[in-house]
Structure 1
């Protein structure tokens, strides 16, 4: 067997002192939360230095199973884990005869949709990717202490590690008790989410870093045009006002706006959908929430408890058209095989300006923009409108309130048949009519159809973009649902001119 030699960490960028085995497990937890497909983590160090403790803790965290048996792959050389969040492959190269054997173990293929954790990486010599993160464990001054030295040819690792350690420091200072960090599925933005467990209580940690330099100019320009929020003050401001109005938004426990960290109440993971199907009772409860919101007069400027102010932006016609134009940029080329013509684009904008002008008399107010099943959390033990917990409202704008009604009744993530849509619509109109003598049902009907068509148009473009630009092909499976919704709403007389335009792409 070939001898091994620890790599000298001449380009190390971080050294941590771990005073106990518990701190080694905490470090594994911190790194587990930033792992993604393609990552290679190389663990070096003498026997007993802490590699195995670290490996078991990291694998169990990614698996979300702290009782998971994690056998040593000393004899098998690699132990794969097919996990819900991220596939992991645990390598132990101590018994590797020749470095080339690593290719036979299929590292390259395993990294296509997973990450690799490699003990004794020195045995693979130069066959490991330059982008790997090396973590060398060294014995400290006493039996329990270890030094963890990090180095990598990829400078991005330093940024990623600083981010997760920043969260650890924020939580240590805020909670002052032992806690566990768990990955929590988020959205497609720059934000990341974790569930924090301390004792019998769970919280949600959101990290939302933002600077203009983080995004390409076209993305920044689009965000500005459609009024997408850029920092976590929006979460605090909108949530604060929703709670004042009696709407169940998560309460914030602690926040560091400068570093984009918000620790808030955890509302669970059960939505208004079960096994992919809408639960009518829950959708009717969500309609009650919308009716209650739309009876409330929300402010344009929010004064936060911290002294900060937040201006809720206007959902302008230009913003609505810019969103709808994603249909031209992505869906049209997908369906026709060629870009939308300049004539078609010009006609599209004219028709949409006319349609949006037609709902100018409809009620306006706060529009959360993503009021649909993934963001509506069912609270089984609550009563009334408290049964619906609301998240993901940071991009709230001031515009036609019918938009959120259409978002719910034509849910992009589950099939809402016409009979359920009609029943929910009638329930909303009945509630608003009882709340206000000035509720204009005809103006609302027109606005509902127009806002529904705009949202569906936008989402068709977004789903194709996610599939083609971001490699998330599963979103194409949602297109038939959205296309059926579009056909349904284009039957409204107020959209007759737009219907003719759309028909050229509905063959």
Structure 2
């Protein structure tokens, strides 16, 4: 990755002149990340490149300020240039939960305990001043499956009936007695860092929360335990749900909301990963679809999902799920 043209001047102004700029990562959006190394001062940072008009770093900055103010380990902000979409961030290092657990699978239970405890802690705090995760957003996201996956799989489906089915089940996630919390929306093993220097925040660093909204507490728990990119054993998922319920004591029909939001999120991700292949030329995301279909079908078994489960049974036959797009992975 070539650093943005404005980066050297930005780093100079920020007090990081002559620092090295090394590629770090890109993601499914237009954002890119670079590691900034100042050998003379023996310090490191991360440069976020969120180029306008495609990206706007201000939501990330707002949520970071909120999380930091509540004692959580979001990256400290060292400098910002909103005109060029550049932000200089604290470097949390290289110990990401996904890779750490690949090397140390015996730590899986303890790491997930910490991640669930962090969520329970976050959900006791006042929510950030963000827009609500409302019905229109749920429907827009769930609709990505009929918009992108179904045409790619050669399916002509009843999209209006799909929306109606979701309208029948989404009220369980909108109950007035369920607390409204900060929903990070992408809380999973690739966006959580192990940061031993931040023990007060469970030793976990938070990333990729720029799309946060205010909504139901089950959403981020689903994001963590029904991970698109790594298998979480069902027995561990059940243990961690029980742990969350002991710590947070959520109100409302929590188990039903968990299943509904799990199905909504998994349908959304199936659509997004198909779009990344069809529109953005990133076929590697198709390799995650079998896991996403497995998770979606598990959620659809909950009685609260009956209308949506019936729609899938009528519109998406088993032969068009799971590996339906596998032959295109190298396209």
Displacement of 1:431 in angstroms is: 0.7
Aligned to 2:115: 286
Is the Cα contact below 8 Å between 2:52 and 2:83 reproduced in 1? no
Give the number of equivalent residue pairs. 309
Aligned to 2:210: 394
Displacement of 1:207 in angstroms is: 1.8
Displacement of 1:384 in angstroms is: 5.3
Aligned to 1:248: 73
Alpha-carbon distance in structure 2 between the residues aligned to 1:193 and 1:255: 14
Aligned to 1:371: 187
Answering whether residue 224 of structure 2 is matched by residue 408 of structure 1, we say yes
Aligned to 2:52: 210
Alpha-carbon distance in structure 1 between the residues aligned to 2:233 and 2:310: 24
Looking at secondary structure, tell me which structure has more strand per residue. 1
Aligned ranges for residues 233-272 of structure 1 at < 5 Å? Answer: 233-272=58-97
Aligned to 1:328: 146
295, 301, 310: which is aligned to 2:124? Answer: 295
Alpha-carbon distance in structure 2 between the residues aligned to 1:166 and 1:424: 45
Alpha-carbon distance in structure 2 between the residues aligned to 1:176 and 1:432: 43
Alpha-carbon distance in structure 2 between the residues aligned to 1:401 and 1:457: 19
Answering whether residue 26 of structure 2 is matched by residue 186 of structure 1, we say yes
Is the Cα contact below 8 Å between 2:92 and 2:195 reproduced in 1? yes
Aligned to 1:354: 168
Change beyond 3 A, Cα 1:476–1:176? closer
Displacement of 1:245 in angstroms is: 1.1
Alpha-carbon distance in structure 2 between the residues aligned to 1:271 and 1:248: 14
Aligned to 1:315: 133
Alpha-carbon distance in structure 1 between the residues aligned to 2:226 and 2:16: 44
Answering whether residue 234 of structure 2 is matched by residue 424 of structure 1, we say no
Change beyond 3 A, Cα 1:372–1:483? same
Alpha-carbon distance in structure 2 between the residues aligned to 1:191 and 1:380: 27
Aligned to 1:465: 275
Deviations 1:259-279 (A, max 9, x none): 221101011222222338682
Alpha-carbon distance in structure 1 between the residues aligned to 2:94 and 2:257: 32
Alpha-carbon distance in structure 2 between the residues aligned to 1:463 and 1:188: 9
Displacement of 1:235 in angstroms is: 1.4
Greater Cα radius of gyration, structure 1 or 2: 1
Query: Post-superposition, which runs of at least 4 consecutive aligned residues in structure 1 deviate over 6 A?
Result: none
Is the Cα contact below 8 Å between 1:329 and 1:339 reproduced in 2? no
SS of alignment partner, residue 46 of structure 2: strand
- Give the gaps of 5 or more residues in structure 1: 1-32, 35-162, 215-229, 301-311, 434-438
Aligned to 1:153: none
251, 254, 258: which is aligned to 1:444? Answer: 254
Change beyond 3 A, Cα 1:346–1:175? same
Aligned to 2:321: none
SS of alignment partner, residue 264 of structure 1: strand
Aligned ranges for residues 127-206 of structure 1 at < 5 Å? Answer: 164-199=4-39, 200-206=42-48
- Give the gaps of 5 or more residues in structure 2: 319-331
Alpha-carbon distance in structure 2 between the residues aligned to 1:365 and 1:239: 15
TM-score normalised to structure 1 length:
0.58
Displacement of 1:410 in angstroms is: 0.3
Structure ranking higher on relative contact order (CA contacts 8 Å, 6+ apart): 2
Looking at secondary structure, tell me which structure has more helix per residue. 2
Is the Cα contact below 8 Å between 1:367 and 1:403 reproduced in 2? yes
Change beyond 3 A, Cα 1:322–1:288? same
SS of alignment partner, residue 5 of structure 2: helix
Deviations 1:26-81 (A, max 9, x none): xxxxxxx42xxxxxxxxxxxxxxxxxxxxxxxxxxxxxxxxxxxxxxxxxxxxxxx
Displacement of 1:464 in angstroms is: 1.6
Alpha-carbon distance in structure 2 between the residues aligned to 1:384 and 1:488: 35
Displacement of 1:444 in angstroms is: 1.8
